[in-house]
Amino acid sequence: MDHLQEKYSQIIKTQAKNLGFDFCGIAKAGFLEEEAPKLDAWLNQNYQGEMSYMANHFDKRLDPTKLVDGAKTVVSLVYNYFPKKELFQEDKAYKIAKYAYGQDYHHVIKDKLKVLLENLRLEIGEIGGRAFVDSAPVMERQWAQKSGLGWLGKNSLLLNKKMGSFFFLAELVIDLEIAPDPPILKDYCGTCTKCIDACPTEAIVQPGVVDGSKCISYLTIELKENIPAAFKGKMENWVFGCDICQDVCPWNRFSKPHQEPLFDPKSELEKMTNRDWEEITEETFSKVFSKSAVKRTKYNGFLRNIDFQK
């Protein structure tokens, strides 16, 4: 292995750590051959529901060299969002997913990636590339696995031995040749099926395969029309996203609270009761969720989610 490529790997990992990323893994950019038939089969089952964008850019989704000219390396990064305390614990409380407690991760992490790329250019020289945070057709879990950051659990999420799954994934696709990390090929879930058994809408149709159109996260965020009546009584009070398959995962006993102040919830959010949610005005919604990912549902979508739980 080229000594310089090893050196670049160390520089990137040190810089990523300094910016608060928990893990950083490196893989050679190229076509994800094993994923092509899996993605094809998933789309053919219409598991994407109304997420039509999942069927777009099929080739780009499988090959980041089609996204970034001259791409040689995919750098995958992990950023923790496990909260210091869980909100909405009372019985029958309306719940939002932990990742949405604080500011919208897209912006928070994208800003860090820009700084990372800038720092790398200062230390290494001219680097061409792009930063991605859940924002383009990049198969981030597969790249993270390929770069040794974890394995794909039965709930299809990336699991990491040291911190479970309550983290964001982000990528830098760059035109610099860097020493790759070995992939994790072993499945450390074993015979455990807790996530499959716990999903109230039976969205995990087989190990590692999620029918997106049945997932509570999809129903409360991506679906723009009325939630189908078939899901009445099965949503367990989730009004934005869902953490059930992560909450029951034994690997998440290793989750530790994040160190990112921007992911801390606003005091207004912590104080919200079910009655407050049910009576929420558009003004309050805008105030409580001013920089939050929850804005994706829009006010009317959020009200629809609450009404469906009643």
**Which of 54-58, 193-197, 300-304 has the lowest average pLDDT?**
54-58
253-290 confidence digits (pLDDT tens): 999 999 999 999 999 999 999 999 999 999 999 999 99
Count other C-beta atoms under 10 Å from residue 18's C-beta. Answer: 11
How many angstroms separate the CA atoms of 240 and 262, rounded? 19
Mean predicted lDDT score pLDDT of the chain: 93
151-199 confidence digits (pLDDT tens): 999 999 999 999 999 999 999 999 999 999 999 999 999 999 999 999 9
Q: Has residue 92 been placed in a domain?
A: no
Q: Has residue 142 been placed in a domain?
A: yes
Do 134 and 268 fall within a single domain? no
pTM for the predicted model, two decimal places: 0.94
66-87 confidence digits (pLDDT tens): 989 999 999 999 999 999 999 9
Do 211 and 146 fall within a single domain? no
pLDDT of residue 40: 81
Q: Has residue 91 been placed in a domain?
A: no
Q: Has residue 115 been placed in a domain?
A: yes
First CA to last CA distance, the chain: 60
Annotated catalytic sites, by residue?
A: 134
pLDDT of residue 1: 56
Of the residues 116, 140, 174, the one at which a domain ends? 174
pLDDT of residue 137: 75
Q: Has residue 94 been placed in a domain?
A: no
pLDDT of residue 95: 96
Do 71 and 150 fall within a single domain? yes
pLDDT of residue 55: 66
Dihedral sign (CA 4, 148, 107, 55): positive
Q: Has residue 87 been placed in a domain?
A: no
Residue 26 lies in domain? 3-82+104-174
Do 13 and 140 fall within a single domain? yes
Count other C-beta atoms under 10 Å from residue 283's C-beta. Answer: 9
pLDDT of residue 47: 66
For 300, the enclosing helix (H) or strand (E) is: helix 298-309
Q: Has residue 272 been placed in a domain?
A: yes
Q: Has residue 181 been placed in a domain?
A: no
What mean pLDDT do residues 234-248 have?
97
Comparing CA positions, the residue from 242, 257, 96 lying closest to residue 163 is 257
For 132, the enclosing helix (H) or strand (E) is: strand 129-132
Do 140 and 77 fall within a single domain? yes
Of the residues 142, 174, 206, the one at which a domain ends? 174
